[in-house]
Amino acid sequence: MSDIQYAPINHLDESAMLPLMKEERQMWLADLDWDYSAIQQILLPLIGQKMLPGYAAFTGGRQPSGYIYFLANREKGSIGALYTMPADNAQKAAEGLVELAIACLQDSGGIRRVEAQIFPFHGQNYERIFSKYGFRHYPRVYLVRNIDAGIAEKEPASPAKIIPWDSTLISRAAGMTTACYREHIDYEILEDYHTPENCENYLRGLVTNPGCGVFLPDASFICLDGQENICGYVICSRISDRRALIPQIAAHPAWQGRGLGAALMNRCLRRLRSMNFRSISLVVTSENSRACEWYQRMGFQPHREFGAFTWNRS
Ligand SMILES: CC(C)(COP(=O)(O)OP(=O)(O)OC[C@H]1O[C@@H](n2cnc3c(N)ncnc32)[C@H](O)[C@@H]1OP(=O)(O)O)[C@@H](O)C(=O)NCCC(=O)NCCS
């Protein structure tokens, strides 16, 4: 008999998950300065109502020592959190959880695509298990910058101008974002970039759900060109009292390389400094070498690597 047992999360009481989720929260805070409690506050009631699809692993006790959850939205499945406490067999338990989640999603004929982006803790690595089930792997990097490092006073090239964030412009920002990512490596990672409708839902999610941090409208900005069309924007969120995150920054292809991205970034950094944030982070796909080099020139340093994984039904 295997030393690891698995059970659907829906068979567990919410209280049984608390110690595991507490440790997960501590790891996110210690390693990424990311207060994961905003996300867990959404997950816990779903667990209580037996409405969160996922599995728990038991590696030698009656308390779960690992869990995974996943969601299905129309034809797309997404793997949400995966976390296992440190133990000799933690990697094996994590791989078992991934296998169960993938089987559930791939065996459901309605699911055409599955996406996952997972930060591994305790030295774990999920590349082997995802590739075993036909997933493509895209290495990504979590970058961090101190807010106190120098901030340039750049403004965008005339006639572009930066205005405060305005959520009524989201559908126009979505159209611009789709154009930005058409020939981009991230187009393969996130189906949200494929159509303006998907992109609008994704941007609305960023400003309403805490999955990528709690939206900070005061540190988010839009750039308009001479005809008042959106030519760039930056969305910023709070992931802890000290650290902010940029889940999205984009410049219209016609404007790229003209200083607009730097002007948006610097405006955001200055606002965060006035709000007493200490550091800022963002995620970039390693293959996006121009953006990687640009972020490093803007003072961001690589902190942690992780993987994005995608699977398409053939
Ligand atoms: C990355 C991005 C926001 C930078 O904005 P920008 O207005 O082009 O940036 P700036 O003009 O201030 O700086 C230009 C630098 O950005 C980098 N860059 C990254 N992608 C670029 C692109 N597609 N075109 C031009 N420059 C790009 C280059 O290093 C460039 O420096 P260089 O001119 O010395 O090569 C913008 O190019 C963009 O939207 N790219 C597509 C979407 C994207 O990759 N977003 C980041 C995902 S994490």
CA of 41 to the centre of ligand 1 (A): 36
Residue 310 lies in a domain: no
Above 50 in pLDDT, residue 190? yes
Q: Give 223's strand partners.
A: 162, 232
Q: At 54, which amino acid appears? A: G
CB 243 within 8 A of CB 278: yes
Residue 229 lies in a domain: yes
Give the pLDDT score at 1.
Answer: 46
- Do 164 and 204 fall into the same domain? yes
Q: Summarize pLDDT for 26-77 with one digit per residue, the tens.
A: 999 999 999 999 999 999 999 999 999 999 999 988 899 999 999 999 999 9
Residue 212 lies in a domain: yes
Q: Is the dihedral of CA 289, 291, 296, 302 positive or negative?
A: negative
Which tokens sit at 134? 């036909």
Q: Summarize pLDDT for 13-26 with one digit per residue, the tens.
A: 999 999 999 999 99
- From 112, 134, 156, the end of a domain falls on 134
CA of 291 to the centre of ligand 1 (A): 6
- Do 186 and 278 fall into the same domain? yes
Task: Domain count for the chain, please give it.
Answer: 2
- Taking CB atoms and a 6 Å cutoff, what residues make up the pocket around ligand 1? 180, 184, 249-251, 255-262, 284, 288, 290-291, 293-294
Alpha carbon distance 32, 28 (integer Å): 5
> Which residue segment(s) compose the domain that 279 sits in?
145-304
- Do 162 and 298 fall into the same domain? yes
Give the pLDDT score at 152.
Answer: 83
Alpha carbon distance 65, 126 (integer Å): 17
- Do 130 and 150 fall into the same domain? no
Q: For a substitution probing ligand 1, which of 256, 260, 267, 284 has the most ligand atoms within 8 Å of its CB?
A: 256
Which ligand 1 atom is the nearest neighbour of the CA of 250?
Answer: 39
- Do 272 and 176 fall into the same domain? yes
- Over residues 271-292, the mean pLDDT reads 97
Residue 166 lies in a domain: yes
CB 55 within 8 A of CB 67: yes
Give the pLDDT score at 69.
Answer: 98
Sequential DSSP letters for 109-148: TT--EEEEEE---TT---HHHHHHTT-EEEEEEEEEEETT
- Do 105 and 171 fall into the same domain? no
- Do 164 and 220 fall into the same domain? yes
Q: How confident is the model at residue 157 (pLDDT cuts 50, 70, 90)?
A: confident
Residue 309 lies in a domain: no
- From 73, 99, 134, the end of a domain falls on 134
CA of 109 to the centre of ligand 1 (A): 39
Residue 311 lies in a domain: no
Cis (ω within 30 of 0) for the bond into 64?
A: no
- In the block, tokens 């965060």 appear at 272
Q: Summarize pLDDT for 74-133 with one digit per residue, the tens.
A: 999 999 999 999 998 999 999 999 999 999 999 988 999 999 999 999 999 999 999 999
- Do 12 and 111 fall into the same domain? yes
CA of 144 to the centre of ligand 1 (A): 18
Q: Which residue's C-alpha comes closest to atom 1 of ligand 1?
A: 291
User: Residue 37 is part of a domain; what is its CATH number?
Assistant: 3.40.630.30
Helix (H, G, I), strand (E, B) or coil at 241: coil
Query: φ and ψ at 308, to 5 degrees?
Result: -105, 145
Q: How confident is the model at residue 297 (pLDDT cuts 50, 70, 90)?
A: very high
- Do 49 and 111 fall into the same domain? yes
Q: Give 233's strand partners.
A: 222, 250
- Do 55 and 197 fall into the same domain? no
Above 80 in pLDDT, residue 2? no
Residue 236 lies in a domain: yes
Q: Which residue's C-alpha comes closest to atom 10 of ligand 1?
A: 259
CA of 294 to the centre of ligand 1 (A): 7
Helix residue spans in 181-259 (DSSP H) = 186-189, 196-208
Which ligand 1 atom is the nearest neighbour of the CA of 291?
Answer: 19
Residue 140 lies in a domain: no
Secondary element (H or E) of residue 248: strand 243-251
- From 134, 155, 176, the end of a domain falls on 134
- Do 156 and 279 fall into the same domain? yes
CA of 161 to the centre of ligand 1 (A): 18
- Do 55 and 104 fall into the same domain? yes
Closest CA to 232 of 255, 212, 216: 255
Q: Summarize pLDDT for 261-280 with one digit per residue, the tens.
A: 999 999 999 999 999 999 99
Give pTM, 2 decimals: 0.95
